[in-house]
Structure 1
Amino acid sequence: MDGAVFVAGRIYRDGRAAEPVDLDQSREWTFDRGDFVWIGLVEPREKELRILADRFGLHPLAIEHALSEHRLPKLETYGDQLFVVARTASLTGQEMSYGETAIFVGRQFIITVRHGSERTHADLRQRLETFPEGMRSGVAYVLHAVLDYVVDGYGPVIEAIEEEVLSLEGRVLDVPLSKDDVRVIFAYRRQLARFGRMLQPTLEVSARLQHLDLPCVEPALKPYFRDVEDHVRRVAGRVEGLRDVLRSVFEIGLLMEQQRQSVVTRKLAAWAAILAIPTAIAGVYGMNFEYMPELHLRYGYYVVLICMLTICGLLYLRFKRIEWL
């Protein structure tokens, strides 16, 4: 079997890891009551899933769904089996990319199938194997752990966006928003809107696992899925808060730009008013009429200059007082 496809497989007895398993069809697996097998695959081909379908009686529709890409999380029941799809998320620049983890759950097996997800389940498996008390609860406990692991992966994505958003918020009062800043704001708003749409069905999946009578999920384990639901709600709250902050950053940026334009407009208007006085007086005396008053006054030139400077100075002081200059 290609190691890039079959990641790990192991039988668990009394909550502890027993012998490993593989997809060799000629090899028999023996299960006692309370035992279960956990198999993990990455980007499997149809052939590998057909082998598992024959061995565990997986429903053909579930196999078909596991091979195709889903846009939203889902939970389906097929007889005494569950089929769950969870979505993983990662951030590259301002672009969020999504992967998928399909989970088949039966009374004595759980199969995880990862598509496009960079986070492996190796750490999760090791952590669970150090806690046999939980593993004794069976496949539902592992299902909860996988879903919780997927939701925990949203945290670094949200934190990276928060850092960028807080940086924008911190400088918007001092520096005008550039084209790149506006592009970043709208990119994050678009990505967060899409992420929020993905979180809603994740909440529905965890709520159904918590409240409905489903195969393979014992009543004693339902509170674990309440914990998953709480995690998803916290992430959804952070997403909504980030969308509000981005909206306020953009609005504040617009207000600050309008304020800067208003300041410039007031300054231009004030200087235009000041310069209008000497322009008007000089314009009158530049018309070259023969019979104009004070044309032959000896000190008329100086009087006119003093009048211009006095009026301009008074206007300047007035505009300075009202903070137009």
Structure 2
Amino acid sequence: MSMAGNLRKVTSLGAVDGLRRVARLARRRRRVDLSHPARSPLGSSVVNCVAYEDGARVPVDGDLADAVKRVRKGGTGFVWLGLHEPTNREFAGVAELFDLHPLAVEDAVEAHQRPKVEQYGDILFAVFKTVCYVEHEELTATSEVVDTGEIMVFVGPDFVVTVRHGRHGSLGPLREELEADPDQLAKGPSAVLHAVADHVVDDYLGVIESVQLDIDQVETDVFAENGARADPGRIYQLKRELLELKRAVVPLGRPLLDLADRPMRVIDPEIQAYFRDVSDHLIRATDQIASFDELLNSILQAHLAQVTVAQNEDMRKITAWAAIVAVPTMVCGVYGMNFEHMPELRWRYGYGMVLGLITLACLALYRGFRRNGWL
């Protein structure tokens, strides 16, 4: 009996008992039902599973094991299984069916890996970090700018297993693009690996363009008329988010060069030329990130210099006004000592003359400070 029949059989039971029975059947048979992906033994982690022959999708009747048998019997196709954040329990059947290495399985389930390419016999395991630009109305000191995820790809002679982690990076549109190009898809699983790598790197370039808009806005604000009052926290936040982007992009350089230059049994020689093109795009992204980092450093230094200049201007203004105020303070202090014999103390116009001298002295100082740019 197929897994679809088992699912129909348990519908008369309670929902919980039915699902438990399906899980037991799945663990016993280690087979994946393709007719009910939302209720498959792999749970909601199964995104899609398709068999291809000569670059064209072929119908799959039954479970994953049946699809693999059909492909291997024909000897010209492959199976593409897509998963999203599977657990160890959910991934066990897939690992057993395709004889995946335990270390690669652990990396695929646990995630949080650096970009890399590893070969286990005839199976290639690749890890790509995905990035997504987080839209925001206004950049603040706490805004999230870049969100990261991961895509793990197992490539064998007749299968591709993609494991995605994160809230973005769906491979559905990519699958449709590949199916629209049967000649490329007919080159086998390595064509899917190249498409995934190209898709990931293209996303890097898109995120970089969006981040550049944020950097341009911060640069405009810093060099505006009141740039010294701009929030430096936004610059630090951009640098932190840029560091997150750098951690995703830069380590992928060596794995892509390996895919482009190192002979691998599961990689079609014609596909290796395409990996060189992806590597060139990655170098462009890496260079842009490095230039952004330097630009943010320059913007931060310019902002700190503006703050220093503004503080110096404030201190000069305070000093200038203090010097002006010191004139009447000094004169009033002298005449406030109440000595009997003082100049012009008993002269009728002495009071007005002193006030006039104070005013003239203050005006002279004010004009001098204005001329020198202190006021």
TM-score (norm 2): 0.80
1:278 corresponds to: 328
- Map 1:1-325 onto structure 2 (within 5 A): 1=33, 2-3=37-38, 4-20=44-60, 23-25=63-65, 28-31=69-72, 32-92=74-134, 93-94=143-144, 96-173=146-223, 174-176=225-227, 181-325=231-375
**Alpha carbons 1:37, 1:108 under 8 Å: kept:** yes
Q: Summarize the Cα distance change of 1:21–1:254 in structure 2 as closer, same or farther, 3 Å threshold.
A: farther
- Measure how far apart 1:177 and its partner are: 5.4
Distance 1:194 1:22 in 2: 43
Q: Spell out, residue by residue over 1:275-323, the C-alpha distance to the aligned partner (whole angstroms, 9 max, x if none).
A: 2112211211111001112212222222212221222222121111111
Distance 1:100 1:163 in 2: 25
- Measure how far apart 1:46 and its partner are: 3.0
**Alpha carbons 1:154, 1:235 under 8 Å: kept:** yes
Secondary structure at the aligned position of 1:36 is classed as strand
Counterpart residue type for residue 89 of structure 1: V
**Alpha carbons 2:130, 2:150 under 8 Å: kept:** yes
- Measure how far apart 1:85 and its partner are: 1.0
- Measure how far apart 1:24 and its partner are: 4.6
Distance 2:228 2:275 in 1: 43
In structure 2, runs of 5+ residues without a counterpart are 1-32, 39-43, 135-142
What is the total number of aligned residue pairs between the two structures? 324
Distance 2:192 2:64 in 1: 24
Q: Summarize the Cα distance change of 1:73–1:104 in structure 2 as closer, same or farther, 3 Å threshold.
A: same
**Alpha carbons 1:88, 1:117 under 8 Å: kept:** no
Asked which structure has the greater RCO (Cα within 8 Å, sep 6+), the reply is 1
2:30 corresponds to: none
Query: What is the root-mean-square deviation of aligned Cα atoms in Å?
Result: 2.1
Q: Summarize the Cα distance change of 1:310–1:54 in structure 2 as closer, same or farther, 3 Å threshold.
A: closer
Secondary structure at the aligned position of 1:153 is classed as helix
Q: Spell out, residue by residue over 1:79-106, the C-alpha distance to the aligned partner (whole angstroms, 9 max, x if none).
A: 1110111111234432533221111111
In structure 1, runs of 5+ residues without a counterpart are none
Distance 2:363 2:61 in 1: 94
Q: Summarize the Cα distance change of 1:25–1:46 in structure 2 as closer, same or farther, 3 Å threshold.
A: farther
- Measure how far apart 1:232 and its partner are: 1.6
- Measure how far apart 1:125 and its partner are: 0.6
Q: How much identity, in percent, do the aligned residues show?
A: 37
Q: Spell out, residue by residue over 1:136-155, the C-alpha distance to the aligned partner (whole angstroms, 9 max, x if none).
A: 22111110101111222223
